[in-house]
Structure 1
């Protein structure tokens, strides 16, 4: 008679983490090093693809200018103050110390932004080494098909575990950590799985939309500016009025379809559809005075004088918009020069949309922070379920802030996960 096959017991872990991006890897490493038995699951072939492509392949891993006493200055969300607890307990200095401990050379590029000297691969290798130190088990590629909460035998909700059905069979975890990221850059595997899981367990969601994303304009209206594609210059860009006004001084990039560059990516997280942007194309320059002085001393064309203040291609494009600006500056009417100065200092235009998730660096919105503990990242109404990183309604500025939120939220969660 053939031997009877015995049922194989379901593997049990202290914590199962879904998503092997920045937050998931770091949480797994920290939890494992605390002595927890950790399983890290991801549907993609490679870990941390977003880390790999970030910062031009060098990973802008944090920002030393982050002010943990006032995180709302650098973060967006319905309650940006939510991130304060995690960010104050795991700071940029803490992550920098880890990078240095692994011997990774880095540099500051601009406004506190820190990049690996060699490659983002160094940061990924560091995260994997930290996971190895914590004896983290990793299943990849491995998709999660279903998640069920198993209440304790008494039927209560204060204890229990999660059964996770995967491509490699079922597993159970005392805690379940969702680090699945947002919807941005679908070509590297972004999905809405984390949001669907949140809804399954009754968590409210804040509507998602692309963040840190180029803005687009009506094709016909944009035609005069499409010729400037590739041109970059420093600007002041703003949106909103009075107390709601937000402004950045950063580089702007013209594209065939609209505007990009750090200035636009930053403002896109605050821009509301249907509202205008105001752009000062020559910040720090007193344009009326500069043009008035040029009128007295010069016989050059207005465009030529303007080219001393802004890039020549921009000067030509602006001067071509009015016959009053296509003449020697000494022959121009004072009102015409004043109008030109005003237009350059406050160029108002209303985007028609964005380049969408395919070009967005992050996703705005996500799991409502009101449903989570800011100390532990655990769901208030669902024991043992945690959400960390980009899947939560916390979005940082461009420049390493989102990675710092990933590290900090992951750390807060890992320190709170119960030991067996």
Structure 2
């Protein structure tokens, strides 16, 4: 009688050996690490085993070669897109996310207005950081799901696409991220870097600009750790043949004056119309210059493209191409609540994280991936740090479809803003530029 175990394929490595190596601070040999990722993707390596491995990575780190190998193995778990048929350079941007970060919306059409293809495969929000797709779904009719053929056709015609990433890109990352989320290992820089870069490299873009945020409203609050993550990701992109740079940007205060979904779309359109908050314009322009330089357009006048309507034209075509109506009214909240200044003076602080949590509690975000978002919910800021206010002047307005949500949102905002007497010169959003 044949033993079923004897007829099964013999695995070339053992998960326990990989776990022990990383537990003891050693580098995992390349063949074993590639096998570990593949075996986990196909279900041979179990969740408990991979949990032990990711915790060992969190505690002991990985060297540059290990991170490269793991990233390549995650890419190899799925398909790779190919934009070579477009006949023009492709460049993408990735942000690590933050409160009020709507930069993708004005940035993609702005860069595309210079004849560069911008394939922006984006995600949804979870917790206090909003998702680009959630924002765009505020626009009536707009759809996030496109086939690869539709993506290529839109890039050839319009030049920019913002859509959901297909399930075929780096499926190992999707499985591994879900595990990290419930095992306390999300913060491991090698795992963050390989997660982000496996999807971006598999996307097939020629060049990539990273917006790595730090500060209270960012995924990584510490500047030094954000710098380490940026350098790790730039190295991964460079090693994979993708021209990659990064900007370290400050997320201590919310970006712009809108936090939510529909209101962030409105603010993005203001930027495309040549207006909008100064900090949103500053970061949009800085990232556009980086992207266009990598795409071979170092002399592009991005401010002029915002002022003369070229970027807006691409925006309208991009929205229409995905069945959205750029002229349609955006959702409005059923209930509002405005908070005013109790004293006069200078706004010396608006902490990003509490405002992000408050917007989430108002319905602008989700606690679970399957939760819906309320597109009209969020917060409109009427002032920013450095501005002078008088007693009774509106500071911000809470937006919701259910007024019962205001109480918990206001609880999150206790102590989240300060008014002082001394003039304040707000720090620039962009702090450092990191290259290979």
Structure with greater helix share of residues:
2
TM-score with structure 2 setting the length = 0.25
Structure number with the higher strand fraction is 1
Structure 1 length as normaliser, TM-score?
0.26
Of structures 1 and 2, the one with the larger relative CO (CA 8 A, separation 6+) is 1
